[in-house]
Amino acid sequence: MKNAILHIASQLQAAYPPDEAEALAWWIAEELSGQTRTELLFGCKDTTFLRNTQTIIDRLLHFEPIQYIFGHTIWNGLDLKLTPATLIPRPETAELVERINRQIANNLSPFRGTKGASVLDIGTGSGCIAIALKKAHPEWQVTGIDISPEAIAVAKENARRNNVEVNFLVADIFSDEIVQFSILNSQIQRSCQ
């Protein structure tokens, strides 16, 4: 197995540093086999599933992100569908979600003690933030908006994949409709207090 990985990595080194090329080669092997790196190293003798990797390698050599090639990624414990209509969730975004959750757990957030908090994720893209927050706080009302109908379709699929209910809407934050929605929502929240 190690030799097959090194062969793929050597092809990728035309465009990537050696460590990154090897990491991509392992990612390809894990994705195509459905096994972890440990399972591949210690239990997999058959490498025939790696024979048809040239298309993937060619796409990587043209700097297409591997997440778009495979159509998904694992981010912050969520399996997220991705397309070029969405950005690829970043580790820094996972840190933001973790910080919000930590602040709530430590009663350092304005949301502390709030069972029915309302959250608006603007420019939701894949829906990763909205979905992660809803997963951690099922009692919250979470809405994600994006100007792109294609991104909203992906976000809705991601909510289904991760078994959460998030309200995703196509909306332009600079439109009068959003301003009116915000005013109405503020009035409703004040009348409910």
pLDDT in the model for residue 179: 58
**Where among 70, 88, 112 does a domain terminate?**
70
Tell me, yes or no, whether 47 and 97 share the same domain: no
**Where among 40, 70, 100 does a domain terminate?**
70
Tell me, yes or no, whether 121 and 83 share the same domain: yes
Q: Which amino acid is at 149?
A: P
Q: Domain of residue 58: give its range.
A: 2-70
| Regions of the chain short of the pLDDT cut 70 | 108-116, 177-193
CATH number of the domain where residue 155 is located: 3.40.50.150
End-to-end CA distance of the chain: 62
**Where among 48, 70, 92 does a domain terminate?**
70
pLDDT in the model for residue 108: 62
**Each residue's pLDDT tens digit, 35-85:** 888 988 888 777 788 888 999 999 999 999 999 999 999 999 999 999 999
**Directed axis angle between helix 18-33 and helix 54-61, to 10°?**
140
pLDDT in the model for residue 159: 98
Percent of the chain past pLDDT 90, that is, above it, reads 65
Percent of the chain past pLDDT 70, that is, above it, reads 87
pLDDT in the model for residue 104: 82
pLDDT in the model for residue 117: 81
3-class DSSP assignment, residue 13? coil
pLDDT in the model for residue 193: 43
Work out the burial of residue 72: count CB atoms within 10 Å of its CB; fewer than 13 is exposed, 13-18 middle, 19 or more buried.
middle
